[in-house]
Structure 1
Amino acid sequence: MYIKPFEVEEWMNAWETGAKYNIAETCVDSVSLDQLFELTGENKEKFLNALSAKRLTYGDIAGQPAFKEGVCALYRTIRPEQVVPTHGASGANHHVFLSLLSPGDSVVSVMPTYQQLYSIPESLGAEVSILRLRREDGYLPDLGELRRLAGRGVKMICVNNPNNPTGALMDARMLEEIADIARSAGAWVLCDEAYRHLTPGEEWSESMADIYEKGISVSGMSKVFSLAGLRLGWIASRDESVIKSCHSHRDYNLISCGMLDESVAALALKHGEKLLERNRSIVSENLEILDEWVSGEPLVDYVKPRGGTTALIRYGADMPSYEFCEAMYKETGAFVTPGDCFGEPRCFRIGYACGKETLKNGLRAVSGFLRALRAM
């Protein structure tokens, strides 16, 4: 089966390890187990002793109950039996497509977004129509255009909220309108919600799985909870046919997730509000730093993110984004992601939820590179 190269992941794999200032990373500043116990107040010795005593079997095939209960707390309507654990949110997206799509099916996906949402359906033989998110619309979908595309007998609509790479955020009203469009076509809506809950303040972030009876939410422990090393995600849906199909395919390619991973994730989700408080604070403070930098840097501009951890920065240099990002990396050590990975030329994606000093130093390095280009 042919699939297009995953441009953003290939870029990250090639350059991330040696970066001096990694401001391409999209997770909120990762935590260690020691930090997790400190944040949650749980008894570290008691937990680790209990974990060490476990026999390393397959564990709970359908997912550890405590983990699934923790996931349900992130939704209004989802029950434990409506959660399918997966290997990361990326594994969840892949699993949904593999479980529900067939050659010839009609799919609509937004772009820019995480490439999985259009390249995997295409590789499975689906007919994929792209709904371009435009800068002048704040990178929010044109619902009139979506309605037109969905009128072609669409089987699945794929969106990403908050959006990666732009940080655009669809509110509840827009999600409901998308659900109405999908409902009229009898289509599923897959919403990649890997950055959900990372919004300013403490307002509740709505999920497509709560709003729409055929909504499918995908998320994980990596971005929002700073635990990418667990490689643990999930699919959540109230559509019984979705859950049944995902479990059926899971028997072939997954069987179960790691019992150690699910135990740590259950602990984190038990204290989810504490982790969210920490991570929202990081996102909020770092976005102020980024916004001040953009305002004071004459060769860049952006649509300010409203959620998530990423921003799409447009630069004024006459240089393709791959060339720009590679040259800057080699000259300054500042590591960002080319906009062309997302079909957005003359841009780069920045992940601003890293350590504060890394962000500040990385932005200074970007400014230095821009000044050098301007002087040429």
Structure 2
Amino acid sequence: MQIEPFKVEIWMNEWETQCTYNLAETCVASITVEELLALSGGSADDLSGLLQMKLTYGDIEGSPRLRTAIANLYANQCIEDITVTHGTIAANMLVHKAIVEPGDHVLSIVPTYQQHYSIPKSIQADVTTLALREEDGFLPNLEALKALVKPNTKLIAFTNPNNPTGALIERPMLEDMVDIADSVGAYLLCDEVYRGTAQVGDGMSPSIVDLYAKGISTAGMSKVFSLAGLRVGWVIAPQEVREQVLIHRDYDTISVGMINDHFAAIALEHADEVLARSHEITRGNLALLEAWIAKEPKVSWVKPRAGTTAMLKLNIPVTAREFCIDLVTKTGVMLTPGDAFDMEGYARIGFANDTQTLTEGLAALSEYLATHYST
């Protein structure tokens, strides 16, 4: 099977271990096991319970404890609807492999995580993309979406909150998208790995699986829950999709690790506490980033309403990749060039890491801009 190189992951693999200030990070600042136990009201003494855990395969589809905790993140889902995966990245792969066949029409809303157009292309689907525009606040143009669906559209894929722009599609627009998908009987796959990061209220936005019978949600522990190292994600999907997901999953997963399952369950059973920490970081850091941008004449943006990243529009005479390579080489500040998302002239910045890294990284970025692009 031929597939396109994964541009953003190649960039991250090349530079994230070489930088000083990782402003390309997309996860809310990761937590330790000790911090997780503290957030859940426990202590290191609770680890003694793991000593009797037999490290077998465990529950193949995910433990009932974990799937119950996942179901509580949704309005109308039960554990039978949930399949646990190796991160959201595996969840996305499994859904595309389960649904898409050669010749199917797939509509992907971009920019997005590259899986959502490169995997169906590798399956020889007919892939159409709908580009989000800055003038629309990086929200989908519904008339354009309506014009692009076809009678044979099998799947419409998108991220909400959006990766990389941080745009947030709220319930009325989601319901309009449901109507468009339903008009041709298409599935709606929403990669919701950043769900829970809205800048107001409890941070939660409606899930597509609670709005549409053919909605599919993928998500995981990496971004908002700060536990990327667990490599735990999930798929919530209609029964016919879930059955196919399970068939494909047998070939590449069997089960997630029992210890991973255990700690993911602890985190989700105390989701309110974990999310409160995430909100403190993302909301405080976004305010810092907004103040920084207001003082930088070479940078503009559409302020994110959710997520952990923003796209910086660069008013400079070089490509974004040239800029990002020179920046990280000379200052240790790592951004992600926009061409990783087919958005030349932009760079993605992550603002959910620890506040000291963000503050020091922005100061170094300001000095670099003043030195190299002051006129």
Instruction: With the length of structure 1 as denominator, give the TM-score of the two structures.
Output: 0.98
Distance (whole Å) between structure 2 residues aligned to residue 328 and residue 345 of structure 1:
16
- 1:111-190 maps to which residues of 2 (within 5 A)? 111-190=110-189
Partner in structure 2 of residue 287 of structure 1? 286
Distance (whole Å) between structure 1 residues aligned to residue 147 and residue 294 of structure 2:
38
Partner in structure 1 of residue 273 of structure 2? 274
Using the TM superposition, give the Cα deviation of residue 365 of structure 1 relative to its aligned residue in structure 2, in angstroms: 1.3
- Alignment-mate amino acid for residue 53 of structure 2: K
RMSD over equivalenced CA pairs, Å: 1.0
Distance (whole Å) between structure 1 residues aligned to residue 98 and residue 152 of structure 2:
19
Distance (whole Å) between structure 2 residues aligned to residue 94 and residue 231 of structure 1:
14
Partner in structure 2 of residue 93 of structure 1? 92
Partner in structure 2 of residue 104 of structure 1? 103
Using the TM superposition, give the Cα deviation of residue 50 of structure 1 relative to its aligned residue in structure 2, in angstroms: 2.0
- Deviation digits for residues 90-122 of structure 1 (CA, Å, limit 9, x no counterpart): 110001011111111100001111111111111
Unaligned stretches of 5+ in structure 2? none
SS in 2 for 1:17: coil
1:218 maps to 2:218: yes
Using the TM superposition, give the Cα deviation of residue 29 of structure 1 relative to its aligned residue in structure 2, in angstroms: 0.4
Using the TM superposition, give the Cα deviation of residue 244 of structure 1 relative to its aligned residue in structure 2, in angstroms: 1.1
Partner in structure 2 of residue 18 of structure 1? 18
Using the TM superposition, give the Cα deviation of residue 307 of structure 1 relative to its aligned residue in structure 2, in angstroms: 0.3
SS in 2 for 1:18: coil
Using the TM superposition, give the Cα deviation of residue 54 of structure 1 relative to its aligned residue in structure 2, in angstroms: 1.2
- 1:65-76 maps to which residues of 2 (within 5 A)? 65-76=64-75
- Alignment-mate amino acid for residue 20 of structure 2: K
- Deviation digits for residues 179-217 of structure 1 (CA, Å, limit 9, x no counterpart): 111111111000000100101232441000111110000
Using the TM superposition, give the Cα deviation of residue 252 of structure 1 relative to its aligned residue in structure 2, in angstroms: 1.8
Distance (whole Å) between structure 2 residues aligned to residue 57 and residue 221 of structure 1:
22
Distance (whole Å) between structure 2 residues aligned to residue 202 and residue 45 of structure 1:
34
- Alignment-mate amino acid for residue 273 of structure 1: D
Distance (whole Å) between structure 2 residues aligned to residue 375 and residue 297 of structure 1:
10
Q: What is the aligned length? A: 374
- Alignment-mate amino acid for residue 167 of structure 1: G
Q: Compare 365-374 and 260-269 and name the one that shifted more.
A: 365-374
SS in 1 for 2:153: coil
- Alignment-mate amino acid for residue 16 of structure 1: E
SS in 2 for 1:155: strand
Partner in structure 2 of residue 364 of structure 1? 363
Partner in structure 2 of residue 44 of structure 1? 44
SS in 1 for 2:242: helix
CA contact (8 A) 2:3 2:118 kept: yes
1:228 maps to 2:228: yes
Q: Compare 148-157 and 325-334 and name the one that shifted more.
A: 148-157
CA contact (8 A) 2:28 2:225 kept: yes
- Alignment-mate amino acid for residue 38 of structure 2: E
Using the TM superposition, give the Cα deviation of residue 152 of structure 1 relative to its aligned residue in structure 2, in angstroms: 4.3
SS in 2 for 1:212: coil
Using the TM superposition, give the Cα deviation of residue 349 of structure 1 relative to its aligned residue in structure 2, in angstroms: 0.2
CA contact (8 A) 1:62 1:84 kept: yes
- 1:47-58 maps to which residues of 2 (within 5 A)? 48-58=47-57
Distance (whole Å) between structure 2 residues aligned to residue 220 and residue 87 of structure 1:
9
Using the TM superposition, give the Cα deviation of residue 151 of structure 1 relative to its aligned residue in structure 2, in angstroms: 2.7
- Alignment-mate amino acid for residue 128 of structure 1: V
- 1:309-348 maps to which residues of 2 (within 5 A)? 309-348=308-347
Partner in structure 1 of residue 263 of structure 2? 264
CA contact (8 A) 1:221 1:230 kept: yes
Distance (whole Å) between structure 2 residues aligned to residue 43 and residue 295 of structure 1:
43
- Deviation digits for residues 111-150 of structure 1 (CA, Å, limit 9, x no counterpart): 1111111111111111100000001000001111111111
Distance (whole Å) between structure 2 residues aligned to residue 170 and residue 78 of structure 1:
21
Q: Compare 9-18 and 366-375 and name the one that shifted more.
A: 366-375
CA contact (8 A) 2:8 2:340 kept: yes
Distance (whole Å) between structure 1 residues aligned to residue 133 and residue 49 of structure 2:
51
Deviation beyond 2 Å, 4+ runs, structure 1? 201-204
CA contact (8 A) 2:105 2:150 kept: no
CA contact (8 A) 2:34 2:43 kept: no
Using the TM superposition, give the Cα deviation of residue 375 of structure 1 relative to its aligned residue in structure 2, in angstroms: 4.5
- Deviation digits for residues 226-280 of structure 1 (CA, Å, limit 9, x no counterpart): 000000100012x110111111221222111111100000011110000000101
Partner in structure 2 of residue 307 of structure 1? 306
SS in 2 for 1:109: strand
Instruction: Give the share of equivalent positions with the same residue, in percent.
Output: 46
Partner in structure 1 of residue 2 of structure 2? 2
CA contact (8 A) 1:317 1:373 kept: no
- Deviation digits for residues 29-78 of structure 1 (CA, Å, limit 9, x no counterpart): 000001111111124323x2222211111100111111101101110011
Distance (whole Å) between structure 2 residues aligned to residue 165 and residue 93 of structure 1:
17
Partner in structure 1 of residue 249 of structure 2? 250
Distance (whole Å) between structure 1 residues aligned to residue 316 and residue 93 of structure 2:
36
SS in 2 for 1:147: helix
SS in 1 for 2:129: strand
- Alignment-mate amino acid for residue 200 of structure 1: Q
Distance (whole Å) between structure 1 residues aligned to residue 374 and residue 141 of structure 2:
40
Unaligned stretches of 5+ in structure 1? none
- Alignment-mate amino acid for residue 215 of structure 2: G
